């Protein structure tokens, strides 16, 4: 778990504008009663826009998110990240593949799974990889939680990781989605949200060639790549597709002179 920030939180401009719009709508409706339909329409439109942003993991408008390696670390490097584990079937095989190629990665672990498989969390760390907080339960309705609910998800997962010897300020929301409240909660807990710049949708597609092509097309140094060590789709042989994708991707990276590094380095 990161250390709570001592600096004041500065909301993103879109959040400030939304707060101002709500205040103006209330004032308009109170002072000019016949204007209430327009005030209501403005609030509804604003909420629709915020909902769109909530469903857009690439957006920086609701909060800051690391989507690429900082320039000082990007030269010759990319960052492999794995979500939704640890998984007793897949995570050890991913660790073996990374070892064979001398690659380092970052694993965003779900607190409840880390609690069930503490030995895997310790093995991830022992093999030289970074670990991040992926909330306690990975709720699909995470963005609907209020301040208390989101804070509880991060804190409970952080406590589990802390008990296993992991201290990290890296965090990733379920599906990478954030609500207008998420940036404040992350700031209060001293967590850095991490997104991605490349993904292959390995939880939806069981064809390794297709998944790899989505990642490799336009791949360049500094990219943060999203894969999964739990919940990946199965290929025609019944294997988690992430395994074949990772093996081919590591060979591709070597051919291009790129190395995968930890996000906390």
pLDDT band for 6, please (50, 70, 90 cuts): low
Active site residue 159: no
From the list 74, 77, 79, the residue with the least C-alpha distance to 194 is 79
DSSP string for residues in 106-170: EEEE-HHHHHH-HHHHHHHHHTT-EEEE--SS--TTGGG--HHHHHHHHHHHHHHHHHTT----E
The pLDDT value given to residue 29? 84
The pLDDT value given to residue 56? 82
Query: Where in the chain are the domains?
Result: 71-260
Across the chain, what does the average pLDDT equal?
94
Q: Give φ, ψ of 156 to 5 degrees.
A: -65, -45
pLDDT band for 5, please (50, 70, 90 cuts): low
Task: Name the 3-class secondary structure at 175.
Answer: helix
The pLDDT value given to residue 12? 84
Catalytic residue among 134, 138, 228, 229: 228
The pLDDT value given to residue 10? 86
**pLDDT tens-digit readout, 22-34:** 898 889 889 998 8
pLDDT band for 186, please (50, 70, 90 cuts): very high
Catalytic residue among 83, 84, 183, 235: 83
The pLDDT value given to residue 2? 63
**pLDDT tens-digit readout, 204-249:** 999 999 999 999 999 999 999 999 999 999 999 999 999 999 999 9
Position 55 pLDDT exceeds 90: no
The pLDDT value given to residue 8? 84
Buried b (16+ CB within 10 A) or exposed e, 241-261: bbbbbbbbbbeebeeeebbbb
Active site residue 228: yes
The pLDDT value given to residue 47? 83
The pLDDT value given to residue 255? 97
Structure tokens at 121: 């969390």
Residue by residue, what is the 3-state secondary structure of 238-264? Answer: CCEHHHHHHHHHHHHHHHCCCEECCCC
> Could you confirm whether domain 71-260 is CATH 3.20.20.370?
yes
Q: Distance between CA 141 and CA 251 in Å, rounded?
A: 37
**pLDDT tens-digit readout, 81-129:** 999 999 999 999 999 999 999 999 999 999 999 999 999 999 999 999 9
Q: Distance between CA 193 and CA 184 in Å, rounded?
A: 11
Comparing 192 with 22, which gets the higher pLDDT? 192
Q: Where does residue 11 rank: exposed (0-12), middle (13-18), buried (19+ CB within 10 A)?
A: middle
Position 183 pLDDT exceeds 90: yes
The pLDDT value given to residue 176? 95
Position 7 pLDDT exceeds 90: no
Buried b (16+ CB within 10 A) or exposed e, 95-114: bebbeeeebbbbbbbbbebb
């Amino acid at each position: 778990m990161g250390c709570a920030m001592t600096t004041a939180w500065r909301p993103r401009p879109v959040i400030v504008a939304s707060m101002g719009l709500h205040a103006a709508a209330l004032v308009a409706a109170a002072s000019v009663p016949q204007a209430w339909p327009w005030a209501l329409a403005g609030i509804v439109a604003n909420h629709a826009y915020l909902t769109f942003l909530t469903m857009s993991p690439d957006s920086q408008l609701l909060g800051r998110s690391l989507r690429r390696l900082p320039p000082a670390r990007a030269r010759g490097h990319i960052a492999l990240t794995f979500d939704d584990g640890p998984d007793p079937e897949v995570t050890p095989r991913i660790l073996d593949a990374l070892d064979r190629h001398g690659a380092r990665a970052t694993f965003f672990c779900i607190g409840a799974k880390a609690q069930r498989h503490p030995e895997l969390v310790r093995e991830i760390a022992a093999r030289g990889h970074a670990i991040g907080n992926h909330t306690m339960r990975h709720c699909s309705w995470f963005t609907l939680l209020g301040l208390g609910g989101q804070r509880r998800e991060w804190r409970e997962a952080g406590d589990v990781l802390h008990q296993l010897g992991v201290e990290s300020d890296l965090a990733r929301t379920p599906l990478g989605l954030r609500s207008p409240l998420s940036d404040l909660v992350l700031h209060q807990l001293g967590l850095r949200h991490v997104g991605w710049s490349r993904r292959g949708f390995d939880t939806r597609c069981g064809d390794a060639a297709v998944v790899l092509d989505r990642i490799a097309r336009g791949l360049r140094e500094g990219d943060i790549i999203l894969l999964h060590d739990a919940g990946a789709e199965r290929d025609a042989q019944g294997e988690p597709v992430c395994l074949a994708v990772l093996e081919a991707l590591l060979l591709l990276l070597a051919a291009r002179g790129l190395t995968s590094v930890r996000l906390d380095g």
